[in-house]
């Protein structure tokens, strides 16, 4: 298991932090959001439910939109558009 962060298209990024527990997912997400440009979309893949609540708050506070959430059997795939 290793964290991966890559550009998947124009203005599209993917951060995979599956297998990681707090505080890794939210800290990697914060770094990724700082890295991408305004209007870019980050697809975030994680499997630590607790991190989700903190990431929600982080997005709310920074004004970033969570445009899609797929959640099943402890796997979370969220798409976040940077403000």
- Of the pair 24, 40, the CB lying nearest another protein is at 24
Which residues contact another protein by CB under 8 A? 1-5, 15, 19-24, 26-32, 35, 47-50, 52-54, 56-58, 60-63, 65-75
Least gap, CB of 82 to another protein (angstroms): 15
Least gap, CB of 26 to another protein (angstroms): 5
Least gap, CB of 18 to another protein (angstroms): 9
Which 3 state secondary structure label does DSSP give 12?
strand
Alpha carbon distance 48, 19 (integer Å): 8
Alpha carbon distance 30, 33 (integer Å): 5
Those residues with Cβ within 8 angstroms of residue 25's Cβ, 6 or more apart along the chain or in another chain: 17, 46, 48, 51, 55
């Amino acid at each position: 298991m290793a964290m991966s962060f890559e550009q998947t298209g124009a203005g599209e990024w993917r951060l995979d932090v599956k297998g990681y527990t707090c505080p890794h997912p939210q800290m990697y997400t914060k770094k990724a959001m700082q890295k991408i440009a305004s209007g870019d979309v980050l697809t975030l893949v994680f499997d630590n439910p607790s991190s989700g609540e903190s990431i929600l708050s982080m997005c709310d506070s920074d004004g970033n939109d969570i445009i899609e959430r797929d959640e099943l059997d402890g796997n979370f795939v969220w798409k976040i558009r940077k403000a």
